[in-house]
């Protein structure tokens, strides 16, 4: 695909930029902590854009004040799931907001096969379109190789 | 606080050792003034009495910081020094107090990011069943990152008699983090000298990672009197001149008796003196009391102690 070589999944913040370095991730976490947002780490291997609920890695870190501890968690998640998508989310719990404010991918599988267009014929020669990820052809856990 | 200075420093240059001419002048006095290190040292001198080895060591660390700053100004690299410490000493010599202060001092000197101490003992690090210890220790370490982790009574972590003790696992995790996250975390151990020595003998890895072994000497009678006066001032009391003399005598006598806990014994003695003062004021019916009576400790409040009458400490059981 000429506009997206490598089929990088472009979900969340900074996804059109090159992969974030550890120093950049630390800076982003520090920004979130300065705003008193809780940080959570999630992972999945199903890259479909409608897959909003990823698996949580550990518990959300409400009480940590320093980026170094959170980076330790991220690195241990990377070691456990080297071939999954891992993202960091920040949650704002002030009254009236109560929603995630940041979400960016920190780890990707080495090869991302991308998406194909699926056409479904409905009644009256209507065509319904949807997106299908080639990775989900294989079962969960075996999608991106060892 | 330290950020503006860092922006003006040139990037560290691998060849700065050779490229920058040796005769380049450096201004030590200016760096000393700008870093406000003297304030930190003065505050320490005022609020903690005695503790000469501690203050000397802090002064040395401050000097290292200044030299680091000057080197950064020339573009030389400066590796993070290891700041892990071990405080040993008798009860009541100020180990916990200084550890709590150390976080503030290191933060003012720019070595750690947050001036916060996470104070733990064995219970917070070691689990009760297999697999419980590692997550418990990791949680504590995550919470302490960026600041100081203070482990009190550190020798309880390692119990050599019981081979199924999970303390060793906690020590392994601590050793790893102490080595790899040296610029993120400062670990301070504390405990009594003989037991800490035994602990280090059985854990040479731990001993080699501790850069500063500081022993807290016992206080002298003059120092204990100053500490007592400082404590009274904080509680908004004062000694009358005769009471001060009586307390000085009390200290000298009490120091010779068993179970003397330095500053803690002084604090307990002051509490008992306040109790006796309150009862003395109560026992004077019809007397016209003034504010002076409320804030002054008189000699009879101290001389009523069993240290003078029976020659035994007040805390000893009455036979």
Closest chain B residue to A71 measured between Cα atoms? B142
Position A72 in a domain? yes
Q: Please work out, in degrees rounded to the nearest 5, the angle formed at the alpha carbon of residue B159 by the alpha carbons of B153 and B160.
A: 140
Position A17 in a domain? no
Position A84 in a domain? yes
Are B181 and A61 a contacting pair at CB < 8 A? no
Instruction: Give pLDDT, residue B41.
Output: 80
Instruction: Give pLDDT, residue A91.
Output: 94
**Residue to substitute from A72, A77, A80, interface B, most B β-carbons within 10 A:** A72
| Count of domains for chain A | 1
Are B142 and A65 a contacting pair at CB < 8 A? no
**Residue to substitute from A69, A71, A73, A80, interface B, most B β-carbons within 10 A:** A69
Residue B209's contacts (CB-CB under 8 Å, 6 or more residues apart) are: B82, B84, B175, B178, B179
Position A13 in a domain? no
Walk across the sheet containing A38-44 and list its strands. A55-56, A38-44, A85-92, A99-107
Q: Tell me the CA end-to-end span of chain A in Å, nearest whole number.
A: 25
Provide the whole-model pTM. 0.80
Instruction: Give pLDDT, residue A62.
Output: 82
Position A144 in a domain? no
Position A130 in a domain? no
Per DSSP, A123 falls in state G
ipTM of the complex: 0.74
Measured between CB atoms, which of B113, B114, B142 is closest to A72? B142
Position A143 in a domain? no
Check which CATH number belongs to the domain holding A99 and give it.
3.30.190.10
CA distance A48 to chain B (A): 33
Instruction: Give pLDDT, residue B38.
Output: 80
Position A29 in a domain? yes
Domains of chain B: 1-79 (no CATH), 81-216 (3.40.50.300), 221-309 (1.10.8.60)
Instruction: Give pLDDT, residue B11.
Output: 66
Instruction: Give pLDDT, residue B30.
Output: 78
- pLDDT below 50 — which residues of chain A? none
Residue by residue, what is the 3-state secondary structure of chain B?
Answer: CCHHHHHHCCCCCCCHHHHCCCCCCCCHHHHHHHHCHHHHHHHHHHHCCCCHHHHHHHHHHHHHHHHHHHHHHCCCCCCCCCCCEEEEECCCCCHHHHHHHHHHHHHHHCCCCCCCEEEECHHHHCCCCCCCHHHHHHHHHHHHCCCEEEEECHHHHCCCCCCCCCHHHHHHHHHHHHHHCCCCCEEEEEECHHHHHHHHHHCHHHHHHCCEEEEECCCCHHHHHHHHHHHHHHCCCEECHHHHHHHHHHHHHHHCCCCCCHHHHHHHHHHHHHHHHHHHHHCCCCCCCCHHHHHEECHHHHHCCHHHHCCCCCCCCCC
Would an 8 Å CB–CB cutoff place B113 in contact with chain A? Answer: yes
Would an 8 Å CB–CB cutoff place B181 in contact with chain A? Answer: yes
Q: Which residue from A39, A138, A145 is spatially nearest to A82, judged by alpha carbons?
A: A145
Would an 8 Å CB–CB cutoff place B116 in contact with chain A? Answer: yes
- pLDDT below 70 — which residues of chain B? 1-13, 318-319
CA distance A69 to chain B (A): 4
Q: Please work out, in degrees rounded to the nearest 5, the angle formed at the alpha carbon of residue B86 by the alpha carbons of B85 and B87.
A: 120
Instruction: Give pLDDT, residue B319.
Output: 60
Instruction: Give pLDDT, residue B140.
Output: 93
Q: Are A4 and A112 in contact (CB under 8 A)?
A: no
């Amino acid at each position: 695909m000429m506009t997206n070589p490598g089929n990088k999944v472009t979900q969340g913040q900074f996804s059109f930029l090159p992969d974030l370095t550890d120093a950049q991730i630390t800076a982003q976490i520090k920004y979130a902590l300065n705003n008193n947002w809780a940080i959570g780490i999630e992972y999945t291997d199903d890259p479909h854009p409608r897959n909003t609920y990823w698996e949580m890695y550990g518990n959300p870190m409400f009480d940590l004040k320093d980026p170094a501890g959170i980076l330790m968690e991220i690195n241990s998640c990377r070691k456990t799931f080297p071939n999954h998508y891992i993202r960091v989310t920040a949650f704002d719990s002030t009254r009236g907001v109560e929603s995630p404010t940041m979400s960016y991918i920190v780890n990707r599988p080495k090869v991302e096969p991308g998406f194909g267009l699926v056409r479904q014929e409905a009644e009256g020669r209507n065509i319904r379109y949807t997106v299908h990820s080639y990775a989900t052809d294989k079962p969960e856990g075996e999608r991106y190789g060892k | 606080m330290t950020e503006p200075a860092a922006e003006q420093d040139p990037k560290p240059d691998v060849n700065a050792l050779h490229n920058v001419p040796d005769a380049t002048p450096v201004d030590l006095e200016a760096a000393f003034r700008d870093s406000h290190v003297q304030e930190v040292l003065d505050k320490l001198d005022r609020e903690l009495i005695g503790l000469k080895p501690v203050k000397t060591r802090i002064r040395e660390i401050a000097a290292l910081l200044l030299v680091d700053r000057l080197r950064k100004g020339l573009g030389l690299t400066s590796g993070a020094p290891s700041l892990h410490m071990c405080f040993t000493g008798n009860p009541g010599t100020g180990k916990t107090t200084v550890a709590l202060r150390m976080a503030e001092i290191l933060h003012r000197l720019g070595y750690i990011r947050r001036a916060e101490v996470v104070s733990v003992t064995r219970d917070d690090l070691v689990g009760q069943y297999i697999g419980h210890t590692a997550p418990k220790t990791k949680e504590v370490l995550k919470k302490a990152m960026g600041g100081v982790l203070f482990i009190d009574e550190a020798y309880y972590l390692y119990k050599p008699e019981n081979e199924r003790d999970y303390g060793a696992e906690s020590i392994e995790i601590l050793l790893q983090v102490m080595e790899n996250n040296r610029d993120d975390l400062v670990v301070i151990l504390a405990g009594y000298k003989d037991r800490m020595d035994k602990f280090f003998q059985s854990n040479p890895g731990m001993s080699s990672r501790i850069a500063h072994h500081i022993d807290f000497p016992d206080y002298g009678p003059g120092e204990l009197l100053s500490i007592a006066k400082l404590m009274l001032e904080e509680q908004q009391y004062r000694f009358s001149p005769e009471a001060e003399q009586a307390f000085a005598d009390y200290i000298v006598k009490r120091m010779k008796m068993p179970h003397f806990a330095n500053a803690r014994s002084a604090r307990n003695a002051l509490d008992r003196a306040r109790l006796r003062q309150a009862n003395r004021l109560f026992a004077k019916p019809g007397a016209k009391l003034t504010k002076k009576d409320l804030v002054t400790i008189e000699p009879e409040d101290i001389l009523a102690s069993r240290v003078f009458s029976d020659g035994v400490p007040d805390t000893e059981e009455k036979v």
